[in-house]
Amino acid sequence: MLQEVKNDIIENLGLDQQNDLLDFLVDGSSRYIKDIKLNFKTALDVEHMTAKEAHLTGLAIAVNNKSSKLISFFQKKCAELEATEAEIAEVIACASLLSANNIFYRFRHFVDSDKYDSIPAKIRMNIMAKPVLGKEFFELISLAVSAANGCEMCVKSHEKSVKSFGSGEQRIFDAIRIASVVTSIDKLLL
């Protein structure tokens, strides 16, 4: 039974049959393999985001985590869901930009120094001005990546921004759940 669950995960993600960590879960009779399969399906089947938005969010987290297997999966799914090349490129750029911002602002937050706060960041962020994805969705992806990277200052800022565009907590929660589950499955892929 657990082998079938593993095979379903492998097939769904388009992976090779050999996966040591998933095999360890099967060999150790870990019921968690069932959880991860259901969590992944449920996280991407959300009420407050379109399927395309959910998969673009997953792609941003896969890029952020440098997970080539999940990047490949999400790029394919996004294309099937009619995401344009410009949208996919912007998601990839957003993950990269937020990685820089998250390190920078997390440092400022940790150190809590007026001197560092007064020095300009000098990090170019032109893609934030007129995002192809629209401001609300760009901010939502930025929030998800910031949460994955653990930047409290960025999370608070992007959450406030997403709400300012009229999005509610449930949409935000869906994006964070996607980030959480994509990160958890990434830990099992070699």
What token pair was written down for 47? 């009420």
Asked if residues 89 and 78 have their Cβ atoms less than 8 Å apart, the reply is no
Among 44, 94, 154, 181, the one annotated catalytic: 154
What token pair was written down for 28? 């150790």
154 flagged as catalytic:
yes
78 flagged as catalytic:
no
- Which domains does the chain carry? 52-186 (1.20.1290.10)
Among 151, 178, 179, 185, the one annotated catalytic: 151
Each residue's pLDDT, cut to its tens digit, for the chain (190 residues) gives 899 999 999 999 988 777 889 989 999 999 999 999 999 999 999 999 999 999 999 999 999 999 999 999 999 999 999 999 999 999 999 999 999 999 999 999 999 999 999 999 999 999 999 999 999 999 999 999 999 999 999 999 999 999 999 999 999 999 999 999 999 999 999 7
- Whole-angstrom distance, CA of residue 4 vs CA of residue 98: 37
